[in-house]
Amino acid sequence: MAMEGFQYLALYAFTKDQEEDLDLQPGDLLTVSKASLLSMENYQEGCVEQPERLGWLLGYNERTKQRGDFPGTFVEYVGPVKMALSSSQPRSQRPLPAAPRPESSQAKCKCIYNALSHGFSQQRSCTVTAIYVIYCRG
């Protein structure tokens, strides 16, 4: 017999803080049972697609074949899935880590600008200058 669940995709690497946590690598596929979500104190209808609002999720990492907790701030919703039966005991809630910030376009522009000022050949410098002007100045 199968039960309902949901899949999430890891966006960032996460190194577990506690024994019951899961290590994550970008691209990991994580499966969470609907029963596990319903047992959470902060569960609200419609939150499934917004894992950052759920806090710590108890799930299964398809890559590592391990079960444990992972932060909702490090994943995005993929969709519903049918899964094999398993126990889904609620876990205690704890502070959620903030998701790493994606590199801002301003930081990318600074990197491009720094590359320009470090002696590229004239031909390569022209290419990088064009990228800087198009990307950073519109």
Residue with tokens 């704890």: 94
Domain segments of the chain: what residues? 3-82
Contact 58, 41 (CB under 8 A): no
3-state secondary structure of 98: coil
- Please tell me the distance from the alpha carbon of residue 138 to that of residue 128, in angstroms, as a whole number: 14
The amino acid sitting at 7 is Q
Model confidence over 42-94: pLDDT tens digits?
788 888 999 999 999 999 999 999 999 999 999 999 999 998 765 545 566 67
Share of the chain above pLDDT 70, in %: 67
The pLDDT value given to residue 132: 45
Q: What average pLDDT does this structure show over 14-41?
A: 94
Stretch 12-35: mean pLDDT: 95
Q: Which H or E run contains 75?
A: strand 75-84
pLDDT given for residue 86 in this prediction: 56
Cβ pair 38, 46 in contact under 8 A: no
CB-side exposure of 3: number of CA atoms within 13 Å? 13
When pLDDT is cut at 50, 70 and 90, the band that residue 16 belongs to is very high
Angstrom distances, CA of residue 42 to CA of 49, 57, 122? 14, 11, 58
pLDDT computed for residue 98 by the predictor: 83
| pLDDT one-digit tens code per residue, 106-135 | 544 544 444 444 444 444 444 444 444 444
Predicted local confidence at residue 129, as pLDDT: 44
Cβ-Cβ contacts under 8 Å for 4 (sequence gap 6 or more): 33, 34, 80, 81, 82, 83
pLDDT of 118: 44
Q: Is the pLDDT of residue 22 over 80?
A: yes
- CATH among 3.30.428.10, 2.30.30.40, 3.40.50.720, 2.40.30.20 for 3-82: 2.30.30.40
